[in-house]
Amino acid sequence: MEIDWSDYECDGFYDELLAARGEPRPEVDALAADIQALGGDELMTRQLAAEVSIKEMGITFTVYSEEGGAIDRAWPFDVIPRVIPEREWRQVELGLKQRVQALNLFIDDLYHD
């Protein structure tokens, strides 16, 4: 089954893969082409296989606010990756490096003179 991007509604929210007009964003053209080549049926098969694997491996988190007590839930996973354009990633990378350096300095203060 071929994927028809125009059937996907993403008006009113940001979608990393598709623009509001239902076309892949320029930075994800290659990924969108790969997804298109797989088709909807194969994509769903892979999503279900990933979900089964997650359950079998016991990758869970606990929800403590459920009625009747805590419950373990399988970790949500999407086979379609989130793409962060390089220009945005550079900003995230700078922030991560800054925070790691601050954390390392803090730990150094705790364990040394």
Number of domains present in the structure of the chain: 2
Does 39 share its domain with 56? Answer: yes
Does 11 share its domain with 65? Answer: yes
Does 17 share its domain with 69? Answer: yes
Does 69 share its domain with 100? Answer: no
Does 112 share its domain with 62? Answer: no
Does 45 share its domain with 92? Answer: no
Does 18 share its domain with 58? Answer: yes
Q: What is the pLDDT of residues 81-110, one digit of tens each?
A: 988 889 999 999 999 999 999 999 999 999
Does 43 share its domain with 29? Answer: yes
Does 67 share its domain with 88? Answer: no
Q: What is the pLDDT of residues 28-76, one digit of tens each?
A: 989 999 998 999 899 999 999 999 999 999 999 998 886 778 888 899 9
- Domain of residue 104: give its range: 83-113
Secondary structure in 3-state letters for the chain? CCCCHHHCCCCCCCCCCECCCCCECHHHHHHHHHHHHHHHHHHHHHHHHHHHHHHHHCCEEEECCCCCCCEEEECCCCCCCCCCCHHHHHHHHHHHHHHHHHHHHHHHHHHCC
